[in-house]
Amino acid sequence: MRREGAGMTAPDGPAGVREFPVLPMSDTTRRMTGRVVTEAAAAISALVADGTLKPGDRLLAQRLADLLGVSRFPIGQAMRILADRGLLTADPGRGFSVASDGPDHAASYRAERGHDDLTSAYFRIAEDRLAGALPDTISEQAMRDRYGLGRGQLSQLLNRMAGEGWAERRPGYGWRFSAVLTTPTALEQSYRLRLAIEPASLLEPGYCLARETLLRCRAVEERMLGGEIETASADALYDRGVRFHEAIVGASGNPFFLDTLKRVNRIRRLLVYRSLADRSRYRRQAAEHLELLRLIERGAQIEAAGLLRAHLQGVMEKLSTVRPLLEAKQHPSG
């Protein structure tokens, strides 16, 4: 899948003159690998980066495979790649272990990893759509030509978009994009759905936020208040917010609530785009998140629901100040 001129044609310049003499291990590092291998490598490097695996620790293939829900094979591939990058050291016959300078390599490795082909195509389409660059109706053929996708890939994407509610099959053939994404009030409407379900989820019978989850959420928010608000990327900030709310709602044990929230969050990500990186507000949000955790910890569900409602309403009201940006289809300068 997603091959892209890897080797095969013209590996060298004319007469064997290498155009890119640097990166001596590139043919191993750059080797096209499957999705699972890539993700396994990312997962392992994350474990090394956050200290779960310390220098000298031996990596057991089966253990990692079980952790990621895959077989041992792609784990082995991933370890080999990471060994080439210097994160791990290979002990022939006894597998791999974390190199002494593993964590440093892990940080740089993780920094340079980009999006999936499919994911990036998804965002390109969404951006084009938001920018009005895509017509309302279009054939699959035209989409494939435009974004250079295989049949299967495109079909996966379109089905996903259809599931998210902003694309649909036309009766004959071709697809139609609905107006959901381009209407200026969509973002506000998405918040009103959250306002309906998130506080309600707290009042579900049997609501129980696992202690471990609570502590993890609290640690994240405190790290943010401790300075990460200023340093983290806009994407990272958005992700943290999403994860917090999904953790809260997920603790209701009602999958319908959680699925609905996840779904609306995926669309919301397209709507907020990368625009509103107004960091000053994240501080207040983090404080409210922490207060919410305190209430939940005490079992004060009703108060928690009230606070969550106020929290969302507060965020929604701030929306009206950024909405003009969306309407004008411009990105803020600062």
Partner DNA sequence: GAATGCATTTAGCGGCCAAGAAATGCAATA
Partner DNA sequence: TATTGCATTTCTTGGCCGCTAAATGCATTC
Tell whether residue 77 is a contact of its own copies (CB under 8 A). no
> How many residues sit close enough to its own copies to count as binding (CB under 8 A)?
42
Q: At what angle do helices 280-297 and 301-327 cross, to 10 degrees?
A: 160
As given in the structure block, the two tokens for residue 326 are 């969306």
- Residue 94 C-beta: closest distance to DNA, Å: 5
Burial readout 81-100 (b: 16 or more C-beta within 10 A, e: otherwise): bbbebbbbeeeeeeebbbbe
Tell whether residue 93 is a contact of its own copies (CB under 8 A). no
Q: Where are the beta strands (DSSP E) in 178-276?
A: none
Give the Å distances, CA to CA, from 18 to 3, 28, 32. 22, 17, 20
Give the Å distances, CA to CA, from 142 to 138, 163, 181. 7, 21, 21
Other beta carbons within 10 angstroms of residue 139's beta carbon come to 13
Our CB check for its own copies shows the closer of 296 and 305 to be: 305
Tell whether residue 70 is a contact of DNA (CB under 7 A). yes
Residue pair 84/25 in contact by the 8 Å Cβ criterion: yes
From candidates 29, 89, 155, 183, binder to DNA by CB under 7 A: 155
Tell whether residue 140 is a contact of its own copies (CB under 8 A). no
Tell whether residue 173 is a contact of DNA (CB under 7 A). yes
Tell whether residue 2 is a contact of DNA (CB under 7 A). yes
From candidates 256, 278, 284, 331, binder to its own copies by CB under 8 A: 256
Our CB check for DNA shows the closer of 1 and 107 to be: 1
From candidates 25, 32, 131, 302, binder to DNA by CB under 7 A: 32
Other beta carbons within 10 angstroms of residue 271's beta carbon come to 20
Tell whether residue 334 is a contact of DNA (CB under 7 A). no
For 301, residues 6+ apart whose C-beta sits below 8 A from its C-beta are 202, 203, 207, 295
Our CB check for its own copies shows the closer of 139 and 189 to be: 189
Our CB check for DNA shows the closer of 117 and 204 to be: 117
Tell whether residue 320 is a contact of its own copies (CB under 8 A). no
- Residue 171 C-beta: closest distance to its own copies, Å: 5
Site for its own copies in 149-168 (CB under 8 A): 151-152, 155-156, 159-160, 162-165
Tell whether residue 220 is a contact of its own copies (CB under 8 A). no
The secondary element (H helix, E strand) that includes residue 242 is helix 234-250
57's contact among its own copies, DNA, none, with CB below 5 to 8 A by partner kind, is: none
- Cα 245 from Cα 260, distance rounded (Å): 12
